[in-house]
Amino acid sequence: MARIEAEERQFSLLLALVDTRGGVTKHELFERVAGYQGQRPGDALERMFERDKDALRELGIVIDVVQPPGDDSNHDARYRVLDGVLGDPAELQFDAEERELLDLALRVWHEGGLTEEAQRAALKLRADPEFRGGLPLERTPGRSEAADVLQPRQRPRESAFQALKRAADRGREVVFDYLKPGERTPRTRTVQPWATVLFRGRWMLVGHDLGAEDTRTFLMQRIVSPVRDRAPKRPFEAPADAASAAIEKLEEIWRTATVRVLAVPGSDADIRLRHRPDTAEEGRLLVIHHADRHVVADELAGFGADIAVVWPDEQRELVRQRLERIRDAHADGSGS
């Protein structure tokens, strides 16, 4: 099982405590919270739970404990964070540009290695409802081992961002290996980089693909090699609206592309998907928006048995394929 960092586990605990009115028992938290799930019951798990509660309280978060009448033990006590304890959103509002800058700051903190102060600031920002749906998916707290198997490692994407941004600023061509969804072997791309854009917590490169002779948008997490830059054969100039045009196109896809899923009520998947941007409810179904069917398939597969894709059939098949790959990978590992 993939190791869950303390900051991510505490954020998952905070979400579970906020997302209840009547409170949840310790047993329920142990079943729902990423980082507790699958842990052997005992003193070690109890101590972890106490440390996480103390960490949240140090941030100024008040955890209310409701003790059943006549019960002196803590076995059936219910835990919750009271409404208003995290602050009134009306007192702290951000426009779109400010939210993007704060989201960028959170990502930079994660990619550079969080200091203790940054961890505390990140956890507090993420407790705000405006940021619950904007977490970087590659580091979403509570993602199962499935997500780690499906996602490329962080390091190539981090170095890719710096190299691509520098090349775009200097008007140099870039060459990198890019792994498209459904393909086992990456292809080498030569691109005139126009702009790096952040969309829904994911970094992308917009540019002119010299091989395809057309404009392309590349998801940085799919770059699987170091980025090499070189002088172009002919100087090129990026369109002034390259970034805004790419964002506009992605927003249009996001508005129209949806997946309908069933989530286990109260599960980590249920809480996170409900707080995703623009999620709607249709009875028991959650309607999830996305801009890339392969990216959302990775995300949904990461929730394992906590969700079931109802529609469309193509999306259900993509998730099934990912889960089968994970199963086969574990089977191969156990047989060696």
End residue of a domain, out of 41, 66, 86: 86
Q: Which of 254, 157, 244, 136 is nearest to 195 (CA)?
A: 244
Q: Clarify whether residues 231 and 263 are in a common domain.
A: no
pLDDT by residue (tens digit) across 35-50? 887 788 888 889 899 9
- Whether 100 is in a domain gets the answer no
**Residue 62 counted as domain residue:** yes
Q: Considering the domain boundaries, does residue 70 fall inside one?
A: yes
Residue 28 domain flag? yes
How far is Cα 25 from Cα 75, in angstroms, rounded to an integer? Answer: 8
Statement to judge: residues 262 and 325 lie in one domain: yes
Q: Tell me, what amino acid is at 227? A: V
Structural domain range at position 172: 154-235
Burial 267-303 (b: 16+ CB within 10 A, else e): bbbbbbbbbbeebeeeeeebebbbbbebbbbbbbbbb
Q: 158 and 226 share a domain?
A: yes
State how many domains the chain has. 3
Greater model confidence, 62 or 317: 317
> Does residue 228 sit in the same domain as residue 261?
no
Q: Is 59 inside a domain boundary?
A: yes
Asked if residue 204 belongs to a domain, the reply is yes
Higher local confidence (pLDDT), 295 or 132: 295
Question: Is 114 inside a domain boundary?
Answer: no
> pLDDT digit string (tens) for 211-240?
999 999 999 989 999 999 999 999 999 998
Amino acid code (one letter) for 225: S
Q: pTM (2 decimals)?
A: 0.56
One domain for residues 261 and 231 = no
